[in-house]
Amino acid sequence: MKVTALLSTFNNEKYINQTIDSVLSQSYEDFEFIIVNDGSTDATKELIQQYKDDRIRLINLPDNVGIARALNMGIQYCQGKYVIKIDGDDIQHPDRFYHQIKFMEENPELSLSKCKFEYFPDNKEIENSLRFANLIRYNQFHKNFPSDSQEISKWIKLYCCIVHSAMIIKTDVLKRYMYRDFVVGEDYDLFLRLDQEGHLMGHLEECLLRVRVSDRSITANFSADFFNIIGYQIKQPALEKFKQNQNIYIWGTGNYGRELINLLESKDWKIDGFIDSFIKEDTKLNDKPIINPEMLRNQNQIKIIIASSTGFFEIIDFLENIGYVSGEDFTMIR
């Protein structure tokens, strides 16, 4: 049974050989490998062309069009039953294809599934950085956490709990939905649309992917405010519905919360206050009161937007324990 490995890449000469080698050395050999060279100006194209493996199909775009459009170009050529997403600087476990295909065949009700992954640093400086430590402590845990379709459906509405390059998806489903043209977040937008239309997404416990953390990672080059804007665009239908609530508070008074209120008020939201466990009484932010979370007990008149990148699991546990319902009483932008 043929499957498709799909990669779009741009100016990736430093890592592209390692990635391609990890694909071509898979124990499951019946696949096609579609590589979209998204207008690279370095030696990426020439390095790919050195491979003489018949499974590789290289599509060279004359200009850089971005991840979503490049992937959509490649999707048109996918002929396998499933598409396995590849990133240009990640490394695949030799049995990744075998295990993910087997999992999908054993669970035909699934449209998509993910495997576990682990981050690894590109160099010593990154290995010793706070950014890498936070990725391991928070992102790796949170994205590996949801372990069945029900949990994934719950959490995907709040944050992107699926690593794009850990994905295997039915080709006919991917061709039906394609990617919308976001600079970043095109994967999260796809997952949300699939969830909204009832597609089941599963989880494979094996760790089959190593995700490189480098200075050139796309997410390292944008501001938090930019991610708020993109997150709002992706979740806009649900957020516009949530906006109709009265008495909306932002949980978080750090940079995330401060930037978020500016975005929301620019879109005519009425924010009534903030929530923070560590603020003294009578403190205000943007002339709005800051309350302690304990004030939320025994009532759910206050609706909440969570603005915490690292503590949102604990916040959600607290809210659910006092009777708050995700989507109705609280939500997240990104």
Residue 265 has what DSSP assignment?
H
Question: How many C-beta atoms lie closer than 10 Å to residue 224's C-beta?
Answer: 15
Domains and CATH numbers, the chain: 3-221 (3.90.550.10), 238-332 (3.40.50.20)
- Element (H or E) spanning 40, and its range? none
State residue 60's pLDDT score. Answer: 98
pTM of the predicted model as reported, rounded to 2 decimal places: 0.93
Q: Phi-psi bin for 282: left (phi > 0), alpha (psi -120 to 50), beta?
A: left
Q: CA torsion, points 328, 256, 186, 62, in degrees to nearest 10? A: 160
pLDDT band at 222 (very low <50, low <70, confident <90, very high): low
Region 33-46 average pLDDT: 98
Instruction: Residue 186: name the closest of 83, 85, 88 by CA.
Output: 85
Residue pair 61/43 in contact by the 8 Å Cβ criterion: no
State residue 286's pLDDT score. Answer: 86
In the chain, the amino acid numbered 250 is I
The per-residue pLDDT for range 226-259, each reduced to its tens digit, is 888 999 999 999 999 999 999 999 999 999 999 9
Cα atoms found within 13 Å of the Cα of residue 150, Cβ hemisphere only? 0
Cα separation of 70 and 35, whole Å? 10
Which range, of 26-30, 102-106, 141-145, 317-321, averages the lowest pLDDT?
141-145
Cα separation of 99 and 265, whole Å? 47
The per-residue pLDDT for range 177-204, each reduced to its tens digit, is 999 999 899 999 999 999 999 999 999 9
State residue 100's pLDDT score. Answer: 98
Which token pair is 187?
């994967």
The per-residue pLDDT for range 64-99, each reduced to its tens digit, is 999 999 999 999 999 999 999 999 999 999 999 999
The per-residue pLDDT for range 293-333, each reduced to its tens digit, is 998 987 668 999 999 888 899 999 999 999 999 999 999 99
Does the pLDDT at position 280 exceed 70? no
Q: Phi-psi bin for 295: left (phi > 0), alpha (psi -120 to 50), beta?
A: alpha
State residue 284's pLDDT score. Answer: 87
State residue 145's pLDDT score. Answer: 87
Region 146-173 average pLDDT: 96
Helix (H, G, I), strand (E, B) or coil at 267: coil
Does the pLDDT at position 219 exceed 60? no
State residue 311's pLDDT score. Answer: 87
Helix (H, G, I), strand (E, B) or coil at 298: coil
Instruction: Residue 300: name the closest of 316, 323, 278, 326 by CA.
Output: 323
Does the pLDDT at position 268 exceed 60? yes
Cα separation of 54 and 51, whole Å? 9
Instruction: Residue 196: name the closest of 6, 327, 332 by CA.
Output: 327
